[in-house]
Structure 1
């Protein structure tokens, strides 16, 4: 017999659905994002912290060695 109390998983699912429903942009928000994101993203991507992340290059042809491997 199943309990009438929701399980922890069911609570998490309900909470996630509620949060995601509140995040959805309406028609005005979507229009504003379409206009401003192309202007804002290049400026944000040029910040020092973003450059450190996205400018990192991995040489896939180079073999890993124990002296260069990080733990």
Structure 2
């Protein structure tokens, strides 16, 4: 996963946890604006989320943070 995407995911997770608590859930769409302005980056996130990690549609933000810290 490219550094740009990893950084964005970690920031979004931190923001969501700060606003809604450690149990907040999100999908990989949370890392993108409502318009699809960067399809390759969206597909990279989807591939990591669905194919590599085999995550459900919604997962806890704290779990996503943990996965990214375990696999730098």
Do they superpose with TM above 0.5?
no
| TM-score bucket (shorter structure) | under 0.3
TM-score (norm 1): 0.22
| TM-score where L is the length of structure 2 | 0.22
User: Over alpha carbons, which structure has the higher Rg?
Assistant: 1
Greater RCO between the two (CA within 8 Å, min separation 6)? 2
Structure having the higher helix fraction is: 2
**Which structure shows the bigger proportion of residues in strand conformation?**
2
